[in-house]
Structure formats: structure tokens, C-alpha cells
Amino acid sequence: MGNSASDAVVEPITGVVLKQDQLDGIWVKLKHSNSLLNMIHILFIAVTWWNAIELMVLVLSTFRRRKGLYFWSLVLTNCLGVVPQSLGFLFQFFTNVDVVLSMAFVCVGWFFMVTGQSVVLYSRLHLVLRDEVVLRRVRRMIVVNIFLLHVPGMVTSWGGTLDGSPKFISAFAVVEKVQLVGFTMQEFIISALYIWEATKLLRLRSDRQDRRIMYYLVGINVVMLVMDLILVSLQFANRFATQVTLQGMFYSIKLKLEFAVLGKLVDVIHNGSSRNGSLGYAMQLSSLDCIHVQTGVTATASSALSSDSNLYDKRKGISLPSRNIFVAKEFSAWVERRPHGNCIL
């Protein structure tokens, strides 16, 4: 940026005066951070890249069929999100690379990293939630937030890069906070739906291992929420450089946690011969057929689920609506018409 970045700026909404050290790094090379802090920022970026490389090795060695929303959202979030975002800030803070180039990396990376993370969360939601109304609302939320949150952020970012006006700095300081809070809420909503539905699924199982997995799922999502709260706190403390470098590292960790969580849950749903949490086996889940039930028609089903050396049947009376039914591992069913439309299993 120009020399105007050295002047204090007042946020138009909060009235907070942003000092020189708080603005440091927003659009220019870091100048006022001490060497120890610079080393910490570089460490965050290095860990981000290490996690990104490790995740790609895991993904490519685990997925037998490299297609589908989950696979591509995970790959794109990692390769076009986490990596460019951290690379852009490395250029911006510690090199003499043109600020336009570094901003291009940052904007592309920020979009794929944040929205991609939400798509990853959404793509695994299908495993535990079959309500198309809820899934459609989640999709709409993700799309709407692209326009409500990403577009203003990109406008203020590029405006500050090309213009260098203090007005853009103050606008960006506000928009960045709104963005971070908005995307944190979006991820929290999707994760909450996932935990709720996964917990209901696992409560049907009496196996202690499954209950441990339920606690594992909740714990992992709590850890990810704490990461988001740390980022929000740093943002509101106006510690820009620390927040954005730590953000890339946190998102790379969250992607690895997502991968582990999915492996655990699919292991329960598929529930085959492997109970050791192997991601390689878990990801061999094949597509399951759906059964369409018409109104006024009832069905009786039996799902055989195995747990180590124990084999037991789960039978439960349910009312089947006119929508798809998700069935894991084994499914046998017959359909009959009854006068009152009740279903007994």
C-alpha cells in the first residue's frame, strides 16, 4: 500500500482506532513485527503446508474411486484453498513480490478454503441426514453467504490494494470481522446438524465402541469450534498477521480432522469386518440403493449389524414417509398393503 497505511484509522462502526502495529501487514510487507513474531508466522505457514501435503497423500492413497462431492471438495479446499492462502500471505509479508499477485493468491485461497470447508461439512452430512428439506436449506445458506460475505470482502480487499485509501482500510477491517463471524456460524450450524444426527444414529447401537466414537465426534467438533473462536478473538483484537497465518494452519488441521471423523462414522455405518478405525477400509463404502415408498404402503425391514464377534438384529417399528430410506450394510424388505397403513418391524 501507499504511505497512508502508516496513519491511524478509525473503524466507522466500532469507533476503535487502529494503530500502526495493528494495521501492519494488511496490504503490505510486515515492517513492525519483531523477529520472534515473524518466526512464529513462518512456522504457522510451514505447518500449514506440511498438513496439506500429508492430507493429499492420505486422500490419494485412501480413495479407491476419485470422484464425488466429498472427494473433490476435500481436494480443492486443500489445494486451491489452504495452500494458495498461506502462500499469498508468505509473499505479502516476507517478500518483495507485487502486492497484486499476493492478493490474487490470498483471495482465491480464502474463497476455496472457507467455502470449501463448508462444502466438505455438507458433503458428509448425507451419511447421517436424509431430510432433503434440511439439506436444501444448508446448500442455500452456503450459496447465499458467498454473495453476502465473500463479495464485500473481495471488493474491499482489491479496493485497498489498488487504491490504498484509509477508507478501504477501515471498511476492510469491518468486513473482515463480519466475514469471519458469518462463516464461523455457518460451519457451526452444519457441524451441529451432523453431531445431532450422528448421535441419534449411534444411540441405536449398544456397542461401547460406537459410543466412544460418538464422544469422539463431539470432541473433534468442539476442538474445531475452539479454533474458530480463537481466530475470531484475534480478528477482533486486530492482530491481522497472526490471525491469517494461524487461520491457514487451523483450516489444514480441520480438514485432517474431518477426514478422520468421516472414517470413524463410515466405519460404524458400514460396520463390516474392520473395527480398528481403518480409514482405508472405511472409504471403500459403496453406494447404497434407496427404496421409494409410496403413500399408503408400508414396509417391513430388518437390518443385520455386526459388532466384532457379536451379531444382533435391530428391529423397530417405524412409519415410512414418501421419501428415500438410507440403509447400511444389509437390508431385506417386503412391502404389503394394510387397511390402516401401520408398519410393524
pLDDT digits (tens, 9 = 90+) for 103-137: 999 999 999 999 999 999 999 888 788 899 999 99
Alpha carbon 311 to chain centroid, angstroms: 35
pLDDT digits (tens, 9 = 90+) for 143-178: 999 999 999 999 988 887 777 677 888 888 889 999
Percent pLDDT > 70 in the chain is 66
Q: What is the pTM of this model?
A: 0.72
Q: Give dist(CA 259, CA 248) in Å, integer.
A: 17
Residues contacting 202, CB < 8 A, separation 6+: 210, 211, 213, 214, 268
pLDDT, mean over the chain: 74
Q: Which residue has the cell 479446499?
A: 77
H helix runs in the chain, sequence order: 20-23, 35-62, 69-76, 83-94, 99-125, 132-145, 151-163, 166-203, 208-236, 240-270, 279-282
The gap between the terminal CA atoms of the chain, to the nearest Å, is 69
- Closest to 172 (Cα-Cα) out of 163, 71, 192: 163
In the predicted structure, residue 316 carries a pLDDT above the cut 60:
no
In the predicted structure, residue 68 carries a pLDDT above the cut 50:
yes
> Which amino acid is it at 77?
T
CA distances from residue 284 to 62, 76, 130, 281 in whole angstroms, order as listed:
8, 21, 21, 5
pLDDT in the model for residue 29 = 63
Q: Do 82 and 258 meet the contact criterion of CB atoms below 8 Å apart?
A: no
Alpha carbon 69 to chain centroid, angstroms: 13
Residue 250 grid coordinates: 487451523
3-state secondary structure of 310: strand
3-state secondary structure of 5: helix
In the predicted structure, residue 36 carries a pLDDT above the cut 80:
yes
> Which residues share a beta bridge with 9?
18
Q: Give dist(CA 303, CA 307) in Å, integer.
A: 13
pLDDT digits (tens, 9 = 90+) for 299-315: 333 333 333 333 334 33
Would you state the CATH architecture of domain 3-270? Up-down Bundle (1.20)
> Which amino acid is it at 10?
V
